[in-house]
Amino acid sequence: MKRAMCAKLCALLLFLSACGTQTENNSATIFAMDTQMELTAYGSGADEAVRAATQEINRLDALLSAQREGSFIYQLNHAQGEPVSRDTDVGETLLLPVIQLCEDTGGALDITVYPAVEAWGFPSGSYRVPEAAELDALREKVDYREVSVDVAEGSSTTVTLPQNMSIDLGAVGKGYAADRVVELWKDMGVTSGLLNLGGNVQCLGGKPDGSDWTVAIRHPEDQGRYLATVTGRDMAVVTSGAYQRNFELDGVIYHHILDPATCMPADSGLTSVTIVAESGLLADGLSTAVYVMGPDRAGELWRERRDFDMVLYTEDGTLWYTPGLAGRFAPAEGLTAQVLE
Ligand code: AMP
Ligand code: MG
């Protein structure tokens, strides 16, 4: 599991060296949401900003983790069909938007895929390949439309889940956490900051010297190389790839992004998906969904929505990017890229 986390951490390399100025800053490296995270804030309130961000991420981890006993999600997954309530706004700010995203992606994103994620052994590290009959039974337990979310005044959330079903916010939790930290930092008056939550990169404003951030996307087949860079400000750059968490059995590599329709690792012809959007939650949810959907369905989704950009890398080595990235996207040396229109 540790190795996979490191791989995830290296998913995106940040080019920070060009910052140049001696702006006051503070950074912290923390471990939360099953991954290593780096938080950096610039300006006079940087120390307090990093402290508050650490606290917020730890709070969300304790609330949303599927594995931590006592978390809202853990309780829900063990409630045997009974409703579970918490004094929290995650119903409104996270669960309802994510269920909508499950719908918008035709179920390629499905937060109820957790029984299958567990059956493959990803949370525990006790990896195994479920047999066909077990996969048939697992498919019966996956359907985001069965999750009922009630949002009451005063920021309380009640969720009901049918017995035998369980949910996992692993595909969206880091993106959501990054959005919350950015909101918090804006409220605190921070104008420049950078989050790398295990490969989910999110920038607040531009660099402290006023220029844009440059984020490099890791090459999925080689940790030491990158595919391309994206520059910008106030953006989330989130990558999903099979290399981030997987195991090998009898010469076959099985990875952690499951196609909810089969409960098998997605096999859509993509090896890396990067979503660039203002919202970390949207970018995180879509990176997982698009990995499942494959290039053709992803292109259709992009043409319908146009509220995100993406960089796709296929098994046959084709690099695609959407036109919204024109002028701020550069393929690595030796690679050529095609515009997806
Ligand atoms: P990400 O790294 O953001 O692509 O999210 C992958 C994680 O989300 C996995 O480790 C699982 O916990 C969970 N997951 C896997 N497949 C899906 C899916 N199709 N929909 C929702 N969550 C998923
Ligand atoms: Mg994701």
pLDDT band at 155, cuts 50/70/90? confident
Atom of ligand 1 nearest to the CA of 110: 20
Mean pLDDT of 20-31: 83
Instruction: Please state the rounded mean pLDDT for residues 184-195.
Output: 98
> What does the DSSP assignment read for 129-155?
---HHHHHHHHTT--GGG-EEEEETTT
pLDDT in tens, 255-280: 999 999 999 999 999 999 999 999 99
Cα radius of gyration rounded to whole Å, the chain: 19
Give the percent of the chain with pLDDT over 90.
Answer: 90
Q: If you take atom 18 of ligand 1, which residue's CA is the nearest one?
A: 109
Q: How many residues does the structure list for the chain?
A: 341
Nearest-atom number in ligand 1 for the CA of 8 is: 2
Kindly list the protein residues that place their beta carbon closer than 5 angstroms to ligand 2, a single-atom ion. 171, 284, 287-288
pLDDT at 21 over 70: no
C-alpha 84 to ligand 2 mean position (Å): 25
**pLDDT, mean of residues 13-20:** 43
Distance separating alpha carbons of residues 92 and 95, to the nearest angstrom: 6
Q: What is the pLDDT of residues 280-306, one digit of tens each?
A: 999 999 999 999 999 999 999 999 999
For residue 10, pLDDT over 80 is answered with no
Q: What integer pLDDT is reported at residue 129 of this predicted model?
A: 98
124, 288, 291, 297: which to mutate for ligand 1, most atoms within 8 A of CB? 288
C-alpha distances (whole Å) from 115 to each of 141, 142, 207, 227 are 7, 8, 42, 33
Task: Copy the structure tokens of residue 146.
Answer: 């069965």
Give me the mean pLDDT over the 156-166 stretch.
Answer: 97
The residue behind tokens 């690792």 is 265
Residues whose CB falls within 8 Å of the CB of residue 215, separated by 6 or more in sequence, listed in order: 12, 14, 15, 201, 203, 229, 230, 231, 237
Residue 175 confidence (pLDDT) above 70? yes
Give pLDDT, residue 22: 62
Closest ligand 1 atom to the C-alpha of 175? 3
